[in-house]
């Protein structure tokens, strides 16, 4: 995981300094990106969804998907007890099977980071949503304070939301500067920084062209990950939206040498769906992204289906839901 | 670790291939009087079955049967004919998996294409023309359109079942009867279709299927009691047919070769264009008469498009046609493989740069990797001749006028593709391109309601849609 301070110049990004100099130049650049044909993108995503994944490949994919899960609870009713339970589940998703890997991270609100950290330590990352999640409707000072608070509480990763209003109004530079400022707020006293994930809320951006532009905008601003959704708006993650984002990270690495991660979140509930995403990662971005450092699933209910399928692979039989822990 | 997809083979036990097949004449399977030949699985070179080769006498029997059947069939009400066609369409859907597996075994095409593309469109054609059967007088082809009589139909090996559907469904809907000859390398699904006709209780003689090679096809075309010839195949054979029937009163539709231009402008949705290029030329191993085998890409984005195309080609999976994850299957015959190899070698010797992704090809069977040639110009043979294989020639252009000029600078004119985000340019290009079909921001899309056919050496007449009815009705001309 990159730990350099955000002020370090990234060689590949220097070429884009003029792009991000003004609202006008940023707009010209983002609107100059190749368009996305909706029908074609959806057809491609559907085509990849028909790959038939069997036996050994499926067993491998299930374990990888478990390792990529950001186990999430983002409810107003979350309590310390609830997130402690989730933290234990993250460490040992299947208590009956010690070979089952831990998940990538636990994702909670900023005030609950400490509770999770106390249990998972360094074994599983703790991600916190910040910047007035999920709406992003607050003044910049508040958003940055929210971020700093979560980092100070020990968050390894910060999931920020963009100001969709500013984006849709065409104030791209404002969105850019908010991401840059949030990334600076992720820096810890020792100079390392919490991993930054930028959430677009693609259900509100509506078009694939917007998704592609938002992806490039966030990547130019120095994000570590781009993420589809908060999970609070429908539609959340979809295969075609993730396809467009995977194309963006692939093209961005081609152009700058910088690799950015992708996290679809919300609405991915079954192992079958998760495997479709992995196939897409493999064929669109490439197998460099088939790693929890570069691809995550934001999910709360996906994990148990992955566990159920995993058990089916090893025992040959399906177990009922009561054989798996609630959280 | 890379994501290695484990094999996911479709079971071939669903289909029962007999050791030998006769001809389907007058509603019955009968022995041929001529010799026989073998049909093989191009992916393994395994012999699948012994097929009867119809002699002139067999063809004569078939045409007589079709003539006898015509009297009753043409007098049936459109509604009655529609019932049979609907029934056939439903049986095709019910036996879809069987048809798809058999098609992939006999032809070499990947199961995902025979299952998800061919068979559904086959059923759709029968449904579509079943819908027309009782509405012919409202098709805008005259107040009381009449069938032509006996149709002699000769179809190619690239889409054996689909080409059968394109020909049989409109002919029957209009009240004609047919004698159909499938290609000698891919007769099995036509023979299974014969069984489906029996299952549907289609009156004997309405559909007759005679198997064989070129000589059998010639006998069908030349038979004096055939009123209409419908042929899909190579331009050379199409010309021979046109010569053979010149001076007779036979009607003909010929759907021949192509060398389609797929034009990518610099404002195109590049990722989807790359997908369209791949689908345009590597679909069905490039065994597609309307394949986008000439890529015309605007110079300003040529490097970007080529880099993405090569990357995408690296993810194509070549191999066992019955594996559900296979993207590119086997070349249909040793003869066709030799032709593809020959033209590719010519491409290299003429100075074009040849590129294929690293891929392991099976040791037996007929295989050719997905291939592109860059640095191609209009003066190269691979830019002009139809390869009919997974081989793409890449040319560049600078302005829309140049793209139109180069696209039209071919003896063929079956199809073209245009990729641009600019709507006005799509309409302008579509009106300037001399091709039967122009696809905008997509490629190789087929629908029974959409007419298909060519300009120049790509033949004449249209199949599909309302226009497809005109080819089987007296005095009807669109």
The 10s digit of each residue's pLDDT in B10-41 is 999 999 999 999 999 999 999 999 899 999 99
Does the pLDDT of residue B478 top 60, yes or no?
no
B227 plus B149 within the same structural domain: yes
What is the tally of structural domains in chain B?
A: 2
HSE, CB side, 13 Å, CA atoms: give it for residue B174.
Answer: 32
pTM: 0.94
pLDDT digits (tens, 9 = 90+) for A133-179: 999 999 999 999 999 999 999 999 999 999 999 999 999 999 999 99
B7 to chain A, any CB pair closer than 8 A? The answer is yes
B331 plus B427 within the same structural domain: yes
3-class secondary structure, A265: strand
Does the pLDDT of residue A114 top 60, yes or no?
yes
Subunit contact B6:A247, Cβ cutoff 8 A: no
Gap between the Cα atoms of B421 and A62, Å rounded:
39
- Phi, psi angle pair for B26, to nearest 5°: 55, 35
Cite the DSSP H helix spans in chain A: 11-14, 23-32, 38-48, 55-67, 80-91, 113-120, 140-152, 164-168, 172-185, 202-205, 208-220, 239-256, 271-280, 302-315
B315 plus B212 within the same structural domain: no
Report pLDDT for B476. 62
Tell me which of B5, B111, B440 to substitute to probe the interface with A (most A C-beta atoms closer than 10 Å).
B5
Q: What is the CATH number of the domain that holds B100?
A: 3.40.605.10
User: Does the residue B435 lie in any domain?
Assistant: yes
ipTM of the complex: 0.92
pLDDT classification of A85: cutoffs 50, 70, 90: very high
B320 plus B239 within the same structural domain: no
Does the pLDDT of residue B194 top 90, yes or no?
yes
B247 plus B269 within the same structural domain: no
Per the annotation, the verdict on A23 as an active-site residue is no
Q: Which two tokens stand for residue B449?
A: 């309601």
Subunit contact A36:B315, Cβ cutoff 8 A: no
Gap between the Cα atoms of B115 and B202, Å rounded:
25
Instruction: Answer for the pair B226, B179: CB distance below 8 angstroms, yes or no.
Output: yes
Rounded to a whole number of angstroms, the distance from the CA of A272 to the nearest CA of chain B is 14
pLDDT classification of A225: cutoffs 50, 70, 90: very high
B278 plus B203 within the same structural domain: no
pLDDT classification of A321: cutoffs 50, 70, 90: confident
Report pLDDT for A45. 97
Report pLDDT for A10. 64
pLDDT digits (tens, 9 = 90+) for B256-300: 999 999 999 999 999 999 999 999 999 999 999 999 999 999 999
Per CATH, which fold does A36-316 belong to?
Answer: TIM Barrel (3.20.20)
Q: What is the CATH number of the domain that holds B405?
A: 3.40.309.10
HSE, CB side, 13 Å, CA atoms: give it for residue B126.
Answer: 26
Residue found by looking up tokens 């529609």 in the block:
B82
| Share of residues in chain A with pLDDT > 90 (%) | 91
Report pLDDT for B389. 97
Report pLDDT for B405. 97
Q: Which two tokens stand for residue B243?
A: 């010569």
Mean pLDDT (chain B) is: 96
Contacts of B32 (CB under 8 A, 6+ apart): B22, B23, B52, B53, B54, B55, B58, B211
Gap between the Cα atoms of A129 and B306, Å rounded:
40
Residues of A within 8 A of B442 (CB-CB) are: 39-40
B203 plus B297 within the same structural domain: no
Gap between the Cα atoms of B407 and B390, Å rounded:
20
> What is the average per-residue pLDDT within B176-193?
98
> What is the average per-residue pLDDT within B324-342?
97
Does the pLDDT of residue B62 top 80, yes or no?
yes
Residues of B within 8 A of A56 (CB-CB) are: 4, 6
> What is the average per-residue pLDDT within A289-294?
98
pLDDT digits (tens, 9 = 90+) for B226-263: 999 999 999 999 999 999 999 999 999 999 999 999 99
Report pLDDT for A310. 95
> What is the average per-residue pLDDT within A211-231?
97
Domain spans, chain A? 36-316
Per the annotation, the verdict on B402 as an active-site residue is no
Gap between the Cα atoms of A135 and B36, Å rounded:
74
Does the pLDDT of residue A22 top 70, yes or no?
yes
Angle at B301 between CA B295 and CA B303, to 5 degrees: 80
Contacts of A182 (CB under 8 A, 6+ apart): A130, A131, A143, A144, A147, A158, A160, A196
Q: Which of B2, B268, B269 sits opposite A287 (nearest CB)?
A: B2
Find the catalytic residue in B255, B385, B386, B463. B255
| Share of residues in chain B with pLDDT > 90 (%) | 97
B64 plus B156 within the same structural domain: yes
> What is the average per-residue pLDDT within A194-207?
97
* Stretch 257-286 of chain A: residues touching chain B, C-beta under 8 Å: 278-279, 282-283
B63 plus B94 within the same structural domain: yes
Residues of A within 8 A of B325 (CB-CB) are: 51-52
Domain span holding position B80 = 20-256+458-474
Longest alpha-carbon distance in chain A: 60
Does the pLDDT of residue B401 top 60, yes or no?
yes
User: Does the residue B445 lie in any domain?
Assistant: no
Rounded to a whole number of angstroms, the distance from the CA of B421 to the nearest CA of chain A is 7
pLDDT classification of A90: cutoffs 50, 70, 90: very high
Subunit contact A40:B324, Cβ cutoff 8 A: no
Instruction: Answer for the pair B140, B477: CB distance below 8 angstroms, yes or no.
Output: no
Q: Which residues of B306-315 are buried (b: 16+ CB within 10 A; e: fewer)?
A: bebbeebbee
Rounded to a whole number of angstroms, the distance from the CA of A246 to the nearest CA of chain B is 11
User: Does the residue B450 lie in any domain?
Assistant: no
3-class secondary structure, A286: coil
Subunit contact A50:B1, Cβ cutoff 8 A: no
A33 to chain B, any CB pair closer than 8 A? The answer is no
Report pLDDT for A272. 97
B103 plus B202 within the same structural domain: yes
B127 plus B77 within the same structural domain: yes
């Amino acid at each position: 995981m990159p730990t350099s301070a955000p002020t370090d110049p990234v060689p590949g990004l220097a070429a884009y300094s003029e792009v991000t100099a003004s609202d006008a130049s940023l707009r010209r650049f983002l609107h100059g990106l190749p368009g996305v044909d909706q029908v074609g993108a959806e057809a491609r995503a559907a085509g990849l969804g028909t790959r038939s994944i069997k036996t050994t490949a499926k067993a491998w994919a299930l374990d990888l998907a478990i390792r990529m899960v950001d186990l999430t609870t983002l409810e107003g009713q979350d309590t310390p007890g609830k997130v402690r339970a989730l933290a234990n589940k993250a460490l040992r998703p299947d208590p009956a099977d010690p070979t089952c890997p831990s998940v990538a991270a636990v994702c909670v609100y900023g005030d609950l980071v400490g509770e999770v950290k106390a249990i998972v330590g360094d074994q599983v990352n703790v991600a916190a949503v910040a910047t007035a999640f999920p709406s992003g409707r607050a003044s910049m000072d508040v958003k940055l304070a929210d971020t700093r608070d979560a980092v100070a509480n020990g968050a390894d990763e910060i999931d920020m939301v963009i100001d969709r209003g500013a984006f849709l109004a065409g104030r791209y530079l404002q969105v850019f500067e908010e991401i840059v400022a949030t990334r600076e707020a992720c820096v810890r006293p020792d100079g390392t920084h919490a991993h930054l994930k930028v959430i677009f809320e693609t259900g509100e951006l509506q078009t694939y062209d917007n998704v592609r532009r938002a992806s490039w905008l966030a990547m130019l601003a120095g994000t570590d990950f781009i993420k589809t959704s908060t999970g609070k708006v429908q539609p959340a993650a979809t295969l075609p939206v993730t396809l467009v984002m995977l194309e963006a990270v692939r093209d961005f690495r081609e152009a700058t040498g910088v690799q950015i991660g992708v996290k679809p979140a919300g609405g991915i509930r079954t192992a079958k769906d998760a495997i479709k995403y992995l196939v897409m990662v493999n064929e669109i971005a490439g197998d460099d992204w088939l790693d929890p450092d570069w691809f995550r699933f934001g999910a709360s209910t996906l994990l148990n289906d992955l566990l159920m399928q995993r058990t089916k692979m090893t025992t040959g039989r399906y177990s009922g839901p009561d054989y798996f822990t609630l959280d | 670790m890379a994501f290695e997809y484990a094999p996911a083979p479709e079971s071939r036990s669903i289909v029962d291939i007999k050791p030998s097949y006769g001809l389907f004449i007058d509603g019955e399977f009968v022995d041929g009087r001529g010799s026989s030949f073998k049909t093989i699985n191009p992916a393994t070179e395994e012999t699948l079955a012994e097929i009867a080769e119809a002699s002139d006498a067999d063809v004569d029997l078939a045409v007589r049967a079709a003539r006898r059947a015509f009297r009753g069939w043409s007098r049936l009400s459109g509604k009655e004919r529609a019932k049979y066609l609907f029934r056939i369409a439903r049986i095709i859907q019910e036996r879809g998996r069987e048809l798809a597996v058999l098609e992939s075994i006999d032809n070499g095409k990947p199961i995902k294409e025979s299952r998800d593309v061919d068979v559904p469109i086959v059923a759709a054609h029968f449904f579509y023309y079943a819908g027309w059967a009782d509405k012919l007088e409202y098709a805008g082809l005259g107040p009381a359109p009449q069938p032509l009589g006996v149709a002699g139909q000769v179809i190619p090996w690239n889409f054996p079942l689909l080409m059968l559907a394109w020909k049989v469904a409109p002919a029957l809907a209009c009240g004609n009867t047919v004698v159909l000859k499938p290609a000698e390398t891919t007769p099995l699904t036509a023979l299974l279709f014969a069984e489906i006709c029996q299952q549907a209780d289609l009156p004997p003689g309405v559909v007759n299927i005679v198997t064989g090679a070129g000589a059998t096809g010639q006998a069908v075309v030349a038979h004096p009691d055939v009123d209409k010839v419908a042929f899909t195949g190579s331009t050379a054979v199409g010309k021979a047919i046109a010569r053979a029937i010149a001076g007779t009163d036979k009607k003909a539709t010929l759907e021949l070769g192509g060398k389609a231009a797929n034009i990518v402008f610099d404002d195109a949705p590049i990722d989807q264009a790359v997908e369209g290029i791949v689908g345009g030329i590597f679909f069905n191993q490039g065994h597609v008469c309307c394949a986008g085998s000439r890529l015309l890409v605007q110079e300003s984005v040529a490097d970007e498009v080529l880099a993405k195309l090569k990357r995408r080609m690296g993810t194509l999976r070549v191999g066992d046609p019955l594996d559900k994850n296979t993207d590119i299957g086997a070349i249909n015959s040793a003869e066709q493989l030799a032709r593809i190899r020959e033209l590719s070698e010519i491409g290299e010797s003429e100075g074009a740069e040849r590129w294929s992704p690293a891929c392991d090809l099976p040791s037996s069977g007929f295989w050719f990797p997905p291939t592109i040639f860059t640095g191609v110009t209009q003066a190269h043979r691979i830019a002009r001749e139809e390869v009919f294989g997974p081989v793409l020639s890449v040319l560049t252009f600078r302005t829309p006028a140049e793209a139109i000029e180069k696209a039209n600078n071919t003896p063929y004119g079956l199809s073209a593709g245009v990729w641009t985000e600019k709507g006005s340019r799509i309409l302008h290009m579509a009106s300037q391109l001399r091709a039967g079909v122009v696809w905008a921001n997509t490629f190789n899309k087929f629908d029974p309601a959409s007419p298909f056919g060519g300009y120049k050496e790509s033949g004449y007449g249209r199949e599909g849609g309302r226009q497809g009815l005109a080819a089987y009705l007296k005095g009807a001309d669109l």
